[in-house]
Amino acid sequence: MTLSPVVDKPVDITPVVWETIKQKLKEKVRPVNFNNWFKPITHGEIAGDNLVISVPNKFIADWINDFYAEMIEKEAHFLLNKEVKVRFDIAVEQLAPASSSSTPGVPQTFQRKISAPFNHKYTFESFVVGKGNQLAHAACQAVSEFPGGHYNPLFIHGGVGLGKTHLLNAVALSALRRHPEMKIIYISSEKFMNEFITCVQNSRMKDFRKKYRESADMLLIDDIQFLGGKGGTQEEFFHTFNELRDSHRQIVLTADKLPKELPGIEERLRSRFAWGLIADVQPPDFETRVAILREKAAIDKISLADDVALYLAEKIESNVRELEGALIRLNAFSSLKGSLLTIDLAKEVLHNQFKPTQEEQRMTVEEIQKTVAEYYQIGLADLKSPRRLKNWAHPRQVAMYLCKKHLRLSFPEIGNRFGGKDHTTVMHACRKIERLLLIDNNLQNDIAILEKTIV
């Protein structure tokens, strides 16, 4: 007879706890909700005063938190005779494969609903509306409320970093909240193409068509311009588009240009893109930039002083992504240095990133011009005049050279400051001075003295 060693194992009551709570919930919530939200959750564990539930993504966590946390906590209290708080352990979201095979760790029900990871920060609530994006914003809200209506397809276009992807995500999240049963596919056109190619290679076109033409209730494709020149994918997309639109299923597309300006896209597609509503996103104006900074700061719990917000909004004009990036960098710096996020810190950290303001530029160009004019004893106006007298042309070329070397200005910008000269004149001047400097000791001397004065 063999004796097995006695191992003093702690009893893991956790699975029992969660299964028991689940049973209770099953009695309390409607079957469809139970099946959607709770049935697939197989793991919950007690950690101190928390009941940690494993869910596949933040969306589900938020949903359960908003609608069911109290109920769960009550059941847990009853069962354990102590108060616990519901917490979530969120698995990394995974892209559902084209076929119906399951992704490990992600329950099937969730896969059906969430075909690609949404970015849960990109909601309508966190989107700041301004003059440049109000039509796009309103249209996106309309299609998430009434999908498949008048604005089908909805085509959003505009430059990089202006919120197209944000809006597309917001449509998906908002539609899903309103219509939890909807199968929403959100995908970039590149991924769409890759999936298509994989399916062609593996003879799985049936799966592909089933996914996009039959089961999708809403199709959101980001950056459609990447389909330019991809004939096979465009052909497939053409049929997908027709089938969805004919059966009043919503399509939303984004691109960096208007449909008619998209290179390499077939005419029949371009014209279809314009069948619904076209809305653009433009760079935000100053007030909107300030509002966006405040919104981002609030979301990330960064305390942002007014003067810092105004400074950033003034310096970064074209692109919201850069605006956000500057804020994040600043915040990282201030916490690394353990100092407050002040305007001085902002200037110190971000100084090199910015072009000097027009004011700063004019002042410095003028300084250089004044110094050079005095040195060569000619009038300031002569430096900018169109006349080619040698006495004036040489100092003018020196001044242009110094502007190019010391200010971050382009040739045309310098030309403008010298009485509207052509950029080729400035280029010629700079090259000439550079060449002369190699051989002309007097000029080397002149430049050295001038640079001492201006720099």
* Residues at the site binding Mg ion, with contacts judged by CB under 5 A: 164-165
377: left (phi over 0), alpha (psi -120 to 50) or beta: left
DSSP 39-65: TT---EEEETTEEEEEESSHHHHHHHH
Closest to 208 in 3D by CA, of 220, 198, 217, 219: 198
161 lies in the site for ligand ADP, by CB under 6 A: yes
Out of Mg ion, ligand ADP, none, what residue 324 binds, judged by CB under 5 to 8 A for its kind, is ligand ADP
- Asked whether 93 and 57 are in contact (CB, 8 A), the reply is yes
In the bound complex, what is the minimum distance in angstroms from residue 317's beta carbon to ligand ADP? 13
Q: Which of 75, 195, 236, 324 binds ligand ADP (CB under 6 A)?
A: 324
Q: Which is nearer to Mg ion, 139 or 341 (CB)?
A: 139
User: From the DSSP assignment, how many helices (H) and strands (E) are in the chain?
Assistant: 21, 8
**Which one of ligand ADP, Mg ion, none interacts with residue 415, CB within 5 to 8 A by kind?**
none
DSSP string, 214-228: II-SEEEEE-GGGGT
Q: Rule CB under 6 A: is residue 187 a binding residue for ligand ADP?
A: no
Nearer to Mg ion among residue 257 and residue 428 (C-beta): 257
**What six digits make up the tokens of 236?**
């497939």
Q: Which of 164/272 has CB closer to Mg ion?
A: 164
Q: Is the peptide bond before 153 cis (omega within 30 degrees of 0)?
A: yes
Spatial separation of the C-alpha atoms in residues 39 and 67, rounded to whole Å: 16
Closest CA to 275 of 303, 231, 245: 245
| Burial class of residue 335 in the structure, from the number of CB atoms within 10 Å of its CB (0-12 exposed, 13-18 middle, 19+ buried) | exposed
163 binds ligand ADP (CB under 6 A): yes
Which partner from the list Mg ion, ligand ADP, none does 188 bind, CB cut-off 5 to 8 Å by kind?
none
Nearest to Mg ion of 164, 315 (CB atom): 164
- The answer to the question of residue 186 lying near ligand ADP (CB under 6 A) is no
State in angstroms the smallest separation of the CB of 123 from ligand ADP.
10
Whichever of 301 and 390 has its CB closer to ligand ADP, that residue is 301
Query: Which one of Mg ion, ligand ADP, none is in contact with 59 (Cβ closer than 5 to 8 A by kind)?
Result: none
Give the separation between CA 398 and CA 362, rounded to whole angstroms: 17
Q: Using the rule CB under 6 A, is 396 a contact of ligand ADP?
A: no
Q: 320 vs 403, which CB is nearer to ligand ADP?
A: 320
Report the site for ligand ADP in 240-299 (rule: CB under 6 A): 292, 295
Residues within the interface to ligand ADP (CB under 6 A): 122, 126-128, 133, 160-166, 292, 295, 320-321, 324
